Amino acid sequence: MNLDRPTIKIAGAAILAPLTILLQSLPPIFITPWMLRVDLVAIPWMICWILFGLKPALLSLIISAPLVGFVGPFAGGAIGAIMKPLASVWMFLIPAIFAWKIGGTKKLLENKRLFIVAGILALAVRAAVTICVNFYFALPVFYGMTPDIIIGMFSDTANISFFGNWLGVLGLGAFVAEVAIWNTIQGIIDLVATTIFALVIFQRIPSLATDKKST
Distance CA 6, CA 3 (A): 8
**Angle formed by the axes of helices 54-68 and 6-25, to 10°?**
30
**Does residue 181 belong to any structural domain of this protein?**
yes
**Does residue 1 belong to any structural domain of this protein?**
no
pLDDT on residue 83: 92
pLDDT at 119 over 70: yes
71 is in which domain, residue-wise?
A: 6-205
Mean pLDDT of the chain: 87
**Does residue 175 belong to any structural domain of this protein?**
yes
Domain CATH number, residue 146: 1.10.1760.20
Distance CA 127, CA 176 (A): 9
Tell me what percent of the residues of the chain surpass a pLDDT of 90: 54
**Does residue 211 belong to any structural domain of this protein?**
no
pLDDT digits (tens, 9 = 90+) for 27-40: 888 887 777 889 99
**Does residue 214 belong to any structural domain of this protein?**
no
Predicted model pTM: 0.89
What ranges make up the beta strands (E) of 9-60? 30-31, 37-38
**Does residue 120 belong to any structural domain of this protein?**
yes
pLDDT on residue 148: 92
pLDDT digits (tens, 9 = 90+) for 173-192: 889 999 999 999 999 999 99
> CA 118 → CA 45, 181, 182, distances in Å?
17, 18, 19
Please, which residues have CB within 8 angstroms of residue 105's CB and are 6 or more apart in sequence? Answer: 49, 50, 95, 96, 99, 198, 213, 214
Question: How many domains is the chain partitioned into structurally?
Answer: 1
**Does residue 213 belong to any structural domain of this protein?**
no
pLDDT digits (tens, 9 = 90+) for 147-165: 999 888 888 755 666 776 7
Please, which residues have CB within 8 angstroms of residue 132's CB and are 6 or more apart in sequence? Answer: none
**Does residue 131 belong to any structural domain of this protein?**
yes
